[in-house]
Structure 1
């Protein structure tokens, strides 16, 4: 007889050790942050577990000795019921490709997969709805793309968009929808739109968690704490989703990125794009622009906000971002 219990990983050392053991044996990343974890016990033995963070299901595992007990389905049903109780009706899961049929039987739809990872979702609006939305912005001729967090939108970001606009027929700027930054998705989207509205051939769009999000690329948000091997697998999946599902809708033939002298994870992401895109999509990496021999970055802007250094903010932010932040009491 199996019993289901919520595991309080941050409060119960014994439960945490049992969970950590099952993560290690399943070769899953034990550094993932979670909001809720369920454990399935056979007596005192943790036989299976699953977690979610926000609307992302993760860390789902069944011990080898219990593979024939259908515990994976039961864990997923518990997690899905809990998500519904919390008002989440659209959620994602990373799993292994050999689990495809189990998750399909639970109503999950495949978004993208590679040889290592299968990315699926449940509920509405889904990825097909997102692609239909993108199709409304199709333009004649080929286009390029930029994906950015813009936390906040700096002169460096503006330079990247301006360069792309001068060298391609049309530019789609995708702004991350993920709410894991100092500035909200709404604020970041607004600043990008204001900072590019003078460029007639630029369209600014949200990613809706389908590009460089904690669903498709969680290691991006872990930065240097991420294991690069995990980042490489996940960034490859993210790049493949962009290449195979997003780019064809908008006739995107080139993607622009800034070089990354500071973040190893972002460097891995750029390398993965280069490998996945191959001859299908051109990847153009531009050097970061500088001010006073220092590379302009959103990190430096956030530090200047903390330091209340108006002179630095004036130097690193376009006037549109400066005015927006000032009008919304952010600086």
Structure 2
């Protein structure tokens, strides 16, 4: 590094001046400041912040270099340092959001494109990548046209089961993708077990994990910040997520239709459903089912979690399939 430049970690929550400088650079680069970040690194020319980059878990975000310094190879230095830090944290597979025009730069740093649209480019680097995931789906494909459902199942309710059963009645195969993010009350492992138990009676249903490729902190972080996410940001992320499903995953499994529940509670999930309709167009059918209601009360995982905390056995028995109820009783 040029002797005139120094570099250091910026503690955004503790360093008021550092945070202000970082916000100015983000604004100049046209990047969001309302991001969840674990680590931020900065390069300085004297006291002026001239380059920065951050990550959350294994997702590189908020990478920016001042226009006056873009010939200085600072981007490479930022990315190299972030990767070293992620390695220290046990991550060896990385995701990256950037602007579409940056593709060649990041390709030269070893990143591969997953998907791109007019707003954002989504890339990754490391072993066990998207091509490996698509190969895994291909190997587990069943014959016949398919339907897709993506769910968090936190936990798996009668509403989720109704969605799967409806799809299973009307399609040769149903592929249920369970979110792999551990940002919910129940772990990925537990949620997948509850889903598999809850659909075990349906012979034409296959359950997959999403890994990091659908509704994840990488593709759709607004989903996990439902109370805080700006809807314009959520829509951009939702479109990217829908695009991955339509262009990459649906063709591998011959999925022609995706089922979702309507969304009376969450604005972000409603935006996601709208984004899917826009992105899917006529090529992929989106079926929005009315949410299952019991005696006029809409079934939701949120209500179930509340009932669990309040030991409301009556609601749990009404809203959960026996498989989930028994699993929760045995394990929690």
TM-score exceeds 0.5: yes
Give 2:76's match in structure 1, choosing from 55, 73, 78. 73
Distance in 1 of aligned mates of 2:260 and 2:328: 25
For the residue of structure 1 that corresponds to 2:176, the secondary structure is strand
Work out the CA distance in 1 between the residues paired with 2:159 and 2:91.
36
Counterpart of 1:190 (choices 181, 188, 193) is 193
Task: Give the TM-score taking structure 2 as reference length.
Answer: 0.97
Shift of 1:255: 0.2
TM-score normalised to the size of structure 1?
0.97
- Residue 15 (structure 1) aligned with residue 28 (structure 2): no
Match of 1:225, SS state, is coil
Q: Pick the aligned partner of 2:182 from 179, 184, 196.
A: 179
Bigger mean CA deviation after superposition, 289-298 or 103-112: 289-298
Give the aligned partner of residue 170 of structure 2.
Answer: 167
RMSD: 1.0
Secondary structure of the residue aligned to 1:230 is helix
1:140 is paired with a residue whose SS is coil
User: Cα distance, 1:292 vs. partner?
Assistant: 2.9
Aligned pairs (5 A) from 1:1-331: 1-329=4-332
**SS of 2:286's equivalent?**
strand
Q: Offset of 1:233 from its aligned partner?
A: 1.2
Q: In the aligned structure 2, how far is the partner of 1:26 from the partner of 1:312?
A: 50
Structure 1 position 28, deviation (Å): 1.5
> How far apart are the structure 2 equivalents of 1:25 and 1:102?
19
| Conserved? CA contact 1:255–1:284, under 8 Å | yes
Inter-partner Cα distance in structure 2 for 1:22 and 1:321: 48
SS at match of 1:256: strand
Measured in 1, the distance between the counterparts of 2:30 and 2:222 equals 16
- C-alpha displacement at 1:225, in angstroms? 1.3
Counterpart-to-counterpart distance in 1, 2:288 and 2:155: 21
How far does the alpha carbon of each residue in 1:19-39 deviate from its partner, in whole angstroms, 9 at most, with x for none? Answer: 122222222111111111101
1:224 to partner: Cα distance: 3.3
- Check whether the contact 1:144–1:254 (CA below 8 A) recurs between aligned residues: yes
Q: For the Cα contact (< 8 Å) 1:73–1:102, is it kept in 2?
A: no
In structure 2, C-alpha distance between the alignment counterparts of 1:307 and 1:24, rounded to whole Å? 45
Q: 1:62 Cα deviation (Å)?
A: 1.3
The structural deviation recorded for 1:18 is 1.2
Deviations 1:137-176, CA, capped at 9 Å, x for gaps: 2122201010000000000000000000011111000000
Distance in 2 (CA, whole Å) between partners of 1:166 and 1:41 is: 61
